[in-house]
A and B are shown apart, each in its own frame.
Chain A
Amino acid sequence: MPVTTSSERGPDLHTPLSGVPLTHGQLPRYAAQFTLLAAIAAGIALTLAGWNPAASAIIAGAGYVVVIYAWSRTVEGPRKARDRLVTAVVTGAFLLALLPLVSVIVTVVGNGIARFDVEFFTYSMRGVVGEGGGAYHAIMGTLVVTGLAALISVPIGILTAIYLVEYGRGRLAKAITFFVDVMTGIPSIVAGLFAYALFALVFGPGVRMGIMGAIALSVLMIPVVVRSAEEMLKLVPNELREAAYALAVPKWRTIVKVVLPTALAGIATGVTLAIARVIGETAPLLITLGITSSVNLNPVDGRMATLPVYAYYQYVTPGVPPEPALERAWTAALTLIIIVMALNLIARLISRLFAPKTRG
C-alpha cells in the first residue's frame, strides 16, 4: 500500500486553511457612533448654512451610509461591510416610519392639552357659542355606537370563524372565506352608504340614528373579527379536540369547553384590536349619525355625536372667533388617540391574563 501524503489526506487542521485567515481587520470600537456623530454635525452645519432641514437630514443619513460602508469594506472586508450597510438602512427605515407617529403625537398633544380639562369631559355643546363646552356627548356617543357595533359583530364574527374552522367544508366555506376577504377591502364610506340606504328604505330619506352607525361599523368590523378568530382557532392543536372526543364529549361541547377557552386570549385580543380599528372611523358616522350638540344616549332616536365627527365639525365650522372650536377639535383628537391606546393596552393585558398557563 502506497504511503499517503498529507495533501492527499485532505486539509491539515493544524494550519489555517489557505487564503482564509481566521482573523481580519476590525474598525475601532466606536467607529459607527463616531461616524454617526460626524454625519449629524454635518447635517446641522448644512442647516445652519441655509439648507432645508429635511434635505440636510437626508444628505447626512446618506453620507453616514456611504462612509461607514466604504470604511468597513476597506478595513473589515465585504461581508462585514454589507452587514453595516443593511443595519444602517434598516435603522433608517425604522426612524423614517417613526417620524410621522412622533409628529402626530407631538402635534396633537401640543394643541389638545389646552382644553384637556374637566369641563371638556363633563359638558356637551348644548347652547355653547364660542368658549367653553365639551365633548361629553360625543364621548358617550362614541362609546354607545362602538359598543353596539361590537355587540353585533363579535357574535357574528366568532360564530363565522367557528363555522369555518370546525364545520366548514366545500363550497359554502370557500364562498364565506372569499366574501370575508372582499369585505375587508370595503371602503368605510361605502359601509356608511350601505347602512344609510338600508334604513332609508324603511324610514325614508334623511333618517339619522345611532344604530345605523353601529351597523355601518360592524360591516367594517366583522371581517377583522372573523379573520383574527379564525387564525386563533386554527392554532388550537387538533390533539386537544381528539382528546375531548375520546372522552365522549360531543362536538359542540368540545368547541365550547375546550377549543374556545384555549383560543380565548387570542380572540379577545383580536376583538379589542378590531374595536380600536373602527372607533376612529369618521366617514360612515358622518353619513349615518350626523352631529348634534346635546347628549343623546338613545341609539334609535335621531342624531348622535361621536368623537371623530365632533372633531371634524369643530374644525370645519368653527364659528367666530374660531380658536375655541379649533382647540376642542384638537382635544377630541387627543381623547380618541388615548382611547385607542388604552384599547391596545387592554388587548395586551387580556392576552396575558387569559393565555393558557404552562407553569404552576
Chain B
Amino acid sequence: MAKRIEVKDLDIYYDKFLAVQGVSMTIQPRSVTALIGPSGCGKSTFLRTLNRMHELVPGARVDGKVFMDDEDLYGPGVDPVSVRRQIGMVFQRPNPFPTMSIYENVAAGIRLNGGRMKKSELDDVVERSLRSANLWAEVKDRLNRPGSGLSGGQQQRLCIARAIAVQPGVLLMDEPCSALDPISTQAIEDLMLELKTDYTIVIVTHNMQQAARVSDVTGFFNLRGVGQPGELVEIDETTKIFSTPSNKATEDYISGRFG
C-alpha cells in the first residue's frame, strides 16, 4: 500500500516568483524522509506540491514531474482530489473540525466524501485508526465529545488518525510537533516509527534532533541568498547527513553554524 514518490526537476512558483528550483529526489516506500533547512527555503512549499495542495494558493503553479509509483501526479487529466485521496497530510497546528465529535473527526475522510459504510464497519475503521494513532485508550470513553476539547498533543494525534483513516499510500507531515510539548512530541515520534511499516512518511521539521531520531533519509534545503529560490542541497541516508555530509552548507547547518 505504501507508495514510492519520485520527483524530477521540480520548479515551484508563486505567480512569477520562483520559490523552489530544480528539486529531484526519490522517496522510498515504508520509510521516513525528513526535510530540514532554514525558514523560508521552501520545505513546506515543496511538501505541499506532493499532494497538490500548493495550487490552492491563487497563482501558484509548478513545473516538472512528480511520480507516485509511475503515475504522473501533474499529468493531464489528473484530478487533484484523487491525488489527495492517496496522499494524506498532517499540519503544523492541530486542526480538528470544531463542529464534529472525536468519532466524526476520524470518520470525516470517509463521511465527507459521501462514502456509504455500515455503522459497524465505520466503528471498526475509527477504532483501528485511533489505535494506530495511539489515542484509542485516551478517548474511547468519550468518542462523542468535541475534538477541540482534547489537549494539543491529543488533537494532533486525532488529526493523524483522521489522515490515516482513509488509508493513504503516503503521509505528509508539515512540522507536526512544532506546536507541541516534549512529551506529546515523543508520542508523535514513536507513532511515526510505528506507522512507517505501513506508510511512506515525509516530514518537514525545524528540529534536527527530531530528523536524526525518526528519519531514514534526510534532505537538506537551503537558499542561495535573499530573493533567490530555495533548492535541495543534499539528500542522503540520515546517518550520513548527520555524520559526514558531502556539502559544506549542510555541515554548517547541522553543526549549528547558521540557521
- Residue of A169, A240, A254 with most chain B CB atoms under a 10 A cut-off: A240
Closest chain B CB from A23 CB (angstroms): 44
CA distance A248 to B149 in the complex (A): 25
A243 and B166 contact, CB distance less than 8 A: no
Q: Which of B82-99 contact A (CB under 8 A)?
A: 82-85, 88-89, 91, 93, 95-99
A243 and B53 contact, CB distance less than 8 A: no
What residues of B have a CB within 8 angstroms of the CB of A358 in the complex? Answer: 98, 146, 148-149
CA distance A69 to B230 in the complex (A): 63
Closest chain A CB from B203 CB (angstroms): 15
Closest A residue to B109 using CB positions: A247
CA distance A261 to B58 in the complex (A): 25
CA distance A291 to B151 in the complex (A): 61
Closest B residue to A250 using CB positions: B81
What residues of B have a CB within 8 angstroms of the CB of A13 in the complex? Answer: none
Give the secondary structure class of A's interface: helix
A248 and B113 contact, CB distance less than 8 A: yes
B34 at the interface (CB under 8 A from A): no
B3 at the interface (CB under 8 A from A): no
Also in contact, A243 and B97, with CB within 8 A (given A253-B112, A253-B114): yes
CA distance A200 to B112 in the complex (A): 48
What residues of A have a CB within 8 angstroms of the CB of B109 in the complex? Answer: 247-249
What residues of A have a CB within 8 angstroms of the CB of B98 in the complex? Answer: 240, 262, 356-358
Also in contact, A247 and B56, with CB within 8 A (given A356-B148, A360-B149): no
B142 at the interface (CB under 8 A from A): yes
A248 and B97 contact, CB distance less than 8 A: no
CA distance A246 to B88 in the complex (A): 6
What residues of B have a CB within 8 angstroms of the CB of A357 in the complex? Answer: 98, 146, 148-149
B53 and A247 contact, CB distance less than 8 A: no
Closest B residue to A243 using CB positions: B95
A237 at the interface (CB under 8 A from B): yes
Also in contact, A257 and B112, with CB within 8 A (given A247-B166, A359-B149): yes
CA distance A264 to B166 in the complex (A): 27
Closest B residue to A256 using CB positions: B112
CA distance A108 to B114 in the complex (A): 54
What residues of A have a CB within 8 angstroms of the CB of B95 in the complex? Answer: 237, 239-240, 242-243
Closest A residue to B58 using CB positions: A169
- The 8 A CB mask of B162-177 against A (1 = contact, 0 = none) is 1100100000000000
- The 8 A CB mask of A325-360 against B (1 = contact, 0 = none) is 000000000000000000000000000000011111
Residue in contact with B84 in the complex, picked from A240, A247, A359, CB distance below 8 Å: A247
B108 at the interface (CB under 8 A from A): yes
A245 at the interface (CB under 8 A from B): yes
CA distance A199 to B163 in the complex (A): 55
CA distance A226 to B212 in the complex (A): 51
Closest chain A CB from B81 CB (angstroms): 5
Q: Interface extent on B, as a size class?
A: 20 to 34
Closest A residue to B111 using CB positions: A257
What residues of B have a CB within 8 angstroms of the CB of A156 in the complex? Answer: none
What residues of A have a CB within 8 angstroms of the CB of B131 in the complex? Answer: none
B145 at the interface (CB under 8 A from A): yes
A81 at the interface (CB under 8 A from B): no
Also in contact, A240 and B97, with CB within 8 A (given A248-B85, A359-B146, A360-B149): yes
B159 at the interface (CB under 8 A from A): yes
Closest B residue to A237 using CB positions: B95
Closest chain A CB from B96 CB (angstroms): 8
What residues of A have a CB within 8 angstroms of the CB of B166 in the complex? Answer: 247-248
- The 8 A CB mask of B52-85 against A (1 = contact, 0 = none) is 0100101000000000000000000000011111
B91 and A262 contact, CB distance less than 8 A: no
A258 at the interface (CB under 8 A from B): yes
CA distance A16 to B97 in the complex (A): 55
B93 and A239 contact, CB distance less than 8 A: yes
A244 at the interface (CB under 8 A from B): yes
Also in contact, A247 and B82, with CB within 8 A (given A237-B95, A356-B148): no
B51 and A246 contact, CB distance less than 8 A: yes
A261 and B99 contact, CB distance less than 8 A: yes
- The 8 A CB mask of B111-130 against A (1 = contact, 0 = none) is 11110000000000000000
Closest chain A CB from B15 CB (angstroms): 13
A247 and B93 contact, CB distance less than 8 A: no
What residues of B have a CB within 8 angstroms of the CB of A247 in the complex? Answer: 84, 88, 108-109, 112-113, 162-163, 166
10 smallest beta-carbon distances between A and B, as pairs:
A360-B145, A356-B98, A248-B85, A246-B89, A248-B84, A247-B109, A239-B95, A261-B99, A360-B149, A249-B112
Residues of B participating in the A interface, judged by any CB pair closer than 8 Å = 51, 53, 56, 58, 81-85, 88-89, 91, 93, 95-99, 108-109, 111-114, 142, 145-146, 148-149, 159, 162-163, 166
Q: What are 23 residue pairs bridging A and B, where the CB atoms are less than 8 Å apart in the complex? A: A169-B58, A239-B93, A239-B95, A242-B56, A243-B91, A245-B56, A245-B84, A246-B53, A246-B88, A247-B112, A247-B162, A248-B83, A249-B112, A257-B111, A258-B112, A261-B99, A262-B98, A262-B99, A357-B98, A357-B146, A357-B149, A358-B98, A360-B146
